[in-house]
């Protein structure tokens, strides 16, 4: 009996344990380049939505993201960094507005309509990020490559999902259910 109990206690451990890798429970993409952490990055879908198309070609699409300058990965003597560009092959250009300087331990937040903890925490700057001139229909359930370029840390390309809008268009047949 003792041998069976001893054997059973090791079932959850090992090199391929279920809990070995924990990831943040956010809807958006995340990544790191040097000390710069990009969290919850997503393209924002705007209502009204019909079918799976959230934006038609030619549209300008806002980006929702939190960017943190991680003090634990900063190089001693190297201070602030700056977000200098955002681009995507699915768009003709990108626009970044506001003060994009991020001090060590500071953060940037873009695209949040209401206060969230990352925006209300001291040291967080609000900025605006918009991708301009969509080249193809932006569809729910797909991801699109977006590159965040930092002055010191360099570029980081992530596959950004499309955030579903909070408002659902009623069914065309008048049925009050919102399922389609």
**The pLDDT of residue 113:** 74
| pLDDT of the residue at 9 | 53
3-state SS class at 82: strand
Rounded-to-integer distance, Cα 52 and Cα 127, Å: 28
Distance CA 68, CA 96 (A): 16
Residue-range domain boundaries for the chain = 27-161
Mean pLDDT of 143-157: 97
**Cα 159 to the center of its chain, rounded Å:** 9
* 27-161: CATH number: 2.60.40.1890
pLDDT in tens, 75-98: 666 679 999 999 999 999 999 999
- The DSSP element (H or E) to which 127 belongs, if any, is strand 124-134
pLDDT tens sequence across 22-72: 444 458 999 999 999 999 999 998 776 667 788 899 999 999 999 999 877
Q: What is the DSSP string of 9-60?
A: HTTT-STT-TTSS-----SSEEEEETTEEEEEEEEEP-SS-BTTEEE-TT--
pLDDT one-digit tens code per residue, 98-112: 999 999 889 999 998
Q: Distance between CA 143 and CA 159 in Å, rounded? A: 5
Q: Give the residue ranges of DSSP H helices in the chain.
A: 2-9, 117-120
CB neighbour class for 32 (10 Å; exposed up to 12, middle 13-18, buried from 19): middle
- 122 vs 91 pLDDT, higher one: 91
């Amino acid at each position: 009996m003792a041998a069976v109990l001893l054997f059973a206690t090791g079932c959850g451990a090992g090199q391929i344990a279920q809990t070995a890798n924990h990831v943040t429970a956010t809807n958006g993409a995340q990544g790191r380049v040097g000390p710069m952490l990009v969290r919850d990055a997503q393209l924002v879908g705007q209502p009204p939505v019909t079918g799976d198309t959230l934006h038609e070609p030619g549209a300008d699409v806002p980006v929702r993201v939190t960017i943190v300058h991680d003090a634990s990965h900063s190089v001693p003597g190297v201070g602030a960094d700056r977000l200098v560009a955002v681009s995507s092959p699915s768009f003709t250009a990108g626009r970044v507005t506001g003060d994009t300087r991020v001090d060590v331990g500071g953060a940037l937040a873009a695209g949040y309509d209401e206060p969230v903890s990352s925006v209300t925490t001291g040291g967080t700057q609000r900025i605006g990020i918009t991708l301009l001139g969509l080249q193809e229909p932006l569809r729910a359930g797909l991801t699109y490559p977006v590159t965040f370029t930092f002055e010191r840390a360099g570029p980081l390309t992530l596959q950004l999902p499309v955030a579903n809008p909070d408002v659902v268009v009623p069914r065309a047949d008048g049925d009050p259910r919102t399922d389609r």
